[in-house]
Structures are given as C-alpha cells and as structure tokens.
C-alpha cells in the first residue's frame, strides 16, 4: 500500500477521565476532566505524541476547555 504512505493524520485519544464541575455549552451534558493524547501519524505510524488535559463533555464529546502545556 505504497500509495497511502503520503498520508499524515492525527488521532485524538482519551486516556482516562473523571467527573468535573460544569456542563456542556452545546448539549448541557456533564463535563469531565480527561487526560488526552494526540498522536500525529505518518503512514499510520505515530511519530509525535503529545499528552494534554481537557475538559470534555461526556455526552457529545465536545472539548469545552483544553490545557496545553
């Protein structure tokens, strides 16, 4: 599959989360603090991984606030 080797993409993954105060501005669902991990991939092989924290909605998955280092 040489053709796809020009592909660069990013995956966002939620490592773990715990309930937080606040509600989602989009759907009114409950918010939680999550440890996020963003992996930048080239040819589906991660070559750059960044960990960060975010307040996310547990219902619709919206990122309400992020804490990038």
Return residues touching Zn ion (CB under 5 A).
24, 26-27, 29, 57, 59-60, 62
Nearer to Zn ion, 39 or 62 (CB): 62
Neighbouring C-beta atoms of residue 52, cutoff 10 Å: 14
Pick 25 or 40: Cβ nearer Zn ion: 25
CB of 28 to Zn ion, least distance (A): 7
Q: Between 10 and 63, whose beta carbon lies closer to Zn ion?
A: 63
Closest separation in Å from C-beta 26 to Zn ion: 5
Q: Report the SS3 class of residue 15.
A: strand
Can you tell me the distance from the alpha carbon of 21 to that of 19, in angstroms, rounded to the nearest whole number? 7
CA distance 52 to 55: 10
């Amino acid at each position: 599959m040489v053709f796809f080797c020009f592909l660069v993409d990013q995956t966002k993954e939620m490592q773990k989360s715990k309930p937080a105060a606040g509600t989602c501005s989009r759907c009114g669902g409950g918010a939680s603090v999550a440890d996020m991990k963003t992996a930048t991939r080239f040819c589906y092989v991660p070559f750059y991984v960044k960990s960060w924290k975010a307040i996310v909605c547990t219902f619709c998955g919206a990122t309400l606030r992020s804490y990038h280092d």
